[in-house]
Structure 1
Amino acid sequence: MRTRFPRPAVPVVAGCLLAAAACGSSSAKDAGASASGGEKLNVVATTTQVADFARNVGGDKVKITQLLKPNVDPHDYEPSPADVQAIAQADVVLENGVGLERWLDQTIKSAGFHGTLVDASKGVAVRKGNGSDEEAAGDPHIWHNPKNAEIMSRNIATAFEGKDSADKAAYEANLTSYTTKLDQLDSWIAGQINTIPADQRKLVTNHDAFGYYIDRYHLTFVGSIIPSFDTSAELSGKQLSSLISKIKSTGVKAIFSESSLPPKTAEAIGKQAGVKVEAGEDSLYGDTLGPAGSAGATYLDLERHNTTTIVTALKG
């Protein structure tokens, strides 16, 4: 189930914001400072994916505070007082970018943050949206192409090196090791997708979150139950009927639900279209990693699980 956090009472939030602003950024490191003596960079990462990249790049030189928990939808997240406090005390704040964290700018302003804000999407070729407000920045699900994950990891490493030049060699070594794993993942996914007959490489998902994956591995996107990058959009009756017709006419093998979204609509469409729905433990990880111990606990795990689920269903 997607998790929504209720807005806390205004006096509580206001009190926290005032406290955070008064503290300012309690950063113990300035640009070029050293991490010697066991002191770590204090890093806040917005999403589960960005936090995972930061852990791989930063290793034991950084302390990561991850704002979004596994299976929490980033599109409609509401920051907590603890998030404001964490940002106020951070040396570095890492964001996915491409409009995914629409709530972040105001939170940073409220926190009185004076550290380094890193847009991990810098340098990524962004897929265009449909012109609507929620898609004005383009498709934010950039991590579903491992080559984009490499760019994001490089941006994170550069930021860490800028704040902690004494540990540059460690960050570079970690980045090299992780990039090798991402390259291996990319090759493995391509090989797996190529085992699906070409005329069966057709994808229907819960929302339009897999465009970068589809483009990278040459699948055909038939449609999504939520016709948007944003999970708050809704499918009209006409669009629902059209999607069912497309599923039937194109010979789609399966519909894929997502770990952070309720599967009810997907299951209803699957029943009407007469196709299997991959839900529950076999659903895809779209907007978020899974909890520790799950099939999507890390980015590498997530993409392997998604690929195995897709390949098994489309070959069946």
Structure 2
Amino acid sequence: MKAPASAAARRTAAAALALALGAAASGCAAFGGERSGIVVTTNILGDITRNIVGDEAEVTVLMKPNADPHSFGISAQQAAALEEAELVVYNGLGLEEGVLRNVESAEEAGVPVLAAGEHADPLDYTEGETAGEPDPHFWTDPVRTGDAVDAIAEQVVAEVGGVDAERIRANAKEYRARIDEVHAEAEERFAGIPEDRRSLVTNHHVFGYLADRYGFEVIGAVIPSGTTLASPSGSDLKSLADAVEAAGVPAVFADSSQPDRLATVMAEEAGLDIEVVPLYSESLTEEGGGAATYLEMTRANTEAIADGLTG
């Protein structure tokens, strides 16, 4: 009689072990601590978040260097990581078109999410087919980026277990001070640009916040949209070419992660000798690529814009 009981006991124990292993693999709430770490969508926000968090928690960044935030996608494994995070930080305001549904799924699964752009006093587009819609490119204004730093820090303190709140807030304060230095440098550098040269033409609408902060006029974009997924028509190019000729701008600025073909076509359409200046507008680069951090990217863009408009 003992043998059957022993077999039954073994079966029961095996079933219990399988259940425990399955729960561990799936993050079953019954075992506690089922969520861990912070997942960030874009690499710009990833760098910002890492400066805030330090070594207090693991930060996973989904977007690779030199990728397009409007169109990048994620793997099934990365999608699962979103739903197993303690906090998801994303840009919001319509930026991450390729992963927004994954962020929404994570939120529906109970993961706390933070749309950083909503805490940065967002602006609306004022022209083009996206006029009236929120502009997601707040990071081109360091002051608004500083506001996002504070929002991220407080959300980390509120949602991520085991972090030292004082350390998180101290990191955020120190990092925001460094952002303020970059802002002061930009103010000084841009002050030297004559009034008749303070016009921006870009490959798509991405520098509205920079223009608002530093007193530039955005006279147009090669792609009349807030997303690189749109395409210009012949009439778009003709209208922009006329505006460029009338404004007499010496340079067109194109994202360094995108080909400058459209900007070049526009310049040819205008019949003017216009320099195409690359900017790091929507993605960080790999280490050594010129814009491996948010601070490096902002400084590089400041110099490129100032040189392009005064050269």
Q: Report the TM-score, using the length of structure 1 for normalisation.
A: 0.82
Structure 2: 5+ residue stretches without partners: 1-22
* Contact 1:24/1:88 (8 A) holds in 2: no
* Pair 1:310 & 2:305 matched: yes
The one of 197, 202, 206 equivalent to 2:199 is 202
1:214-293 aligned at under 5 Å gives the runs: 214-273=211-270, 274-279=272-277, 283-293=278-288
* Pair 1:147 & 2:152 matched: no
How much has 1:214 moved relative to structure 2? 0.6
The one of 40, 49, 56 equivalent to 1:45 is 40
Tell me, in whole angstroms, the C-alpha distance in 2 between the residues paired with 1:268 and 1:144. Answer: 26
* Contact 1:24/1:89 (8 A) holds in 2: no
* Pair 1:114 & 2:114 matched: no
Tell me, in whole angstroms, the C-alpha distance in 2 between the residues paired with 1:24 and 1:133. Answer: 46
Which residue type is aligned with residue 139 of structure 1? Answer: D
The one of 66, 73, 85 equivalent to 1:90 is 85
Q: Which has the higher contact order (CA 8 A, sep 6+)?
A: 1
Which residue type is aligned with residue 289 of structure 1? Answer: L
* Pair 1:60 & 2:55 matched: yes
How much has 1:276 moved relative to structure 2? 3.0
Percentage of pairs with the same residue: 32
Structure 1: 5+ residue stretches without partners: 1-18, 31-40
Identify the residue that residue 124 of structure 2 maps to in structure 1.
128
Which residue type is aligned with residue 238 of structure 2? Answer: S
Which residue type is aligned with residue 118 of structure 1? Answer: L
Shift in CA distance, 97/109, structure 1 to aligned 2, threshold 3 Å? closer
Larger radius of gyration: 2
How much has 1:269 moved relative to structure 2? 1.9
* Contact 2:27/2:34 (8 A) holds in 1: no
* Contact 1:43/1:90 (8 A) holds in 2: yes
- After TM superposition, the structure 1 stretch with the greater mean CA deviation from structure 2, 51-60 or 103-112, is 103-112
Shift in CA distance, 209/24, structure 1 to aligned 2, threshold 3 Å? farther
Q: Report the TM-score, using the length of structure 2 for normalisation.
A: 0.84
Shift in CA distance, 202/132, structure 1 to aligned 2, threshold 3 Å? closer
How much has 1:190 moved relative to structure 2? 0.8
Which residue type is aligned with residue 236 of structure 1? Answer: S
* Pair 1:78 & 2:76 matched: no
Shift in CA distance, 128/110, structure 1 to aligned 2, threshold 3 Å? closer
* Pair 1:28 & 2:33 matched: yes
How much has 1:24 moved relative to structure 2? 6.4
Q: How many residues align?
A: 285
Which residue type is aligned with residue 210 of structure 1? Answer: F
Identify the residue that residue 4 of structure 1 maps to in structure 2.
none
State the SS of the aligned residue for 2:118.
coil
* Contact 2:40/2:90 (8 A) holds in 1: yes
How much has 1:137 moved relative to structure 2? 4.4
Identify the residue that residue 290 of structure 2 maps to in structure 1.
295
* Pair 1:169 & 2:174 matched: no
Tell me, in whole angstroms, the C-alpha distance in 2 between the residues paired with 1:109 and 1:252. Answer: 42
State the SS of the aligned residue for 1:228.
coil
* Contact 1:208/1:226 (8 A) holds in 2: yes
Tell me, in whole angstroms, the C-alpha distance in 1 between the residues paired with 2:42 and 2:28. Answer: 23
Tell me, in whole angstroms, the C-alpha distance in 2 between the residues paired with 1:260 and 1:66. Answer: 18
Tell me, in whole angstroms, the C-alpha distance in 2 between the residues paired with 1:301 and 1:110. Answer: 33
1:184-203 aligned at under 5 Å gives the runs: 184-203=181-200
Tell me, in whole angstroms, the C-alpha distance in 1 between the residues paired with 2:279 and 2:104. Answer: 34
- After TM superposition, the structure 1 stretch with the greater mean CA deviation from structure 2, 141-150 or 163-172, is 163-172
* Contact 1:266/1:277 (8 A) holds in 2: no
How much has 1:22 moved relative to structure 2? 4.7
* Contact 1:257/1:284 (8 A) holds in 2: yes
Shift in CA distance, 299/206, structure 1 to aligned 2, threshold 3 Å? same
How much has 1:172 moved relative to structure 2? 1.1
**Root-mean-square deviation (CA), in Å?**
2.6
Tell me, in whole angstroms, the C-alpha distance in 2 between the residues paired with 1:27 and 1:121. Answer: 32
Which residue type is aligned with residue 151 of structure 2? Answer: N
* Contact 2:251/2:274 (8 A) holds in 1: yes
Shift in CA distance, 132/250, structure 1 to aligned 2, threshold 3 Å? closer
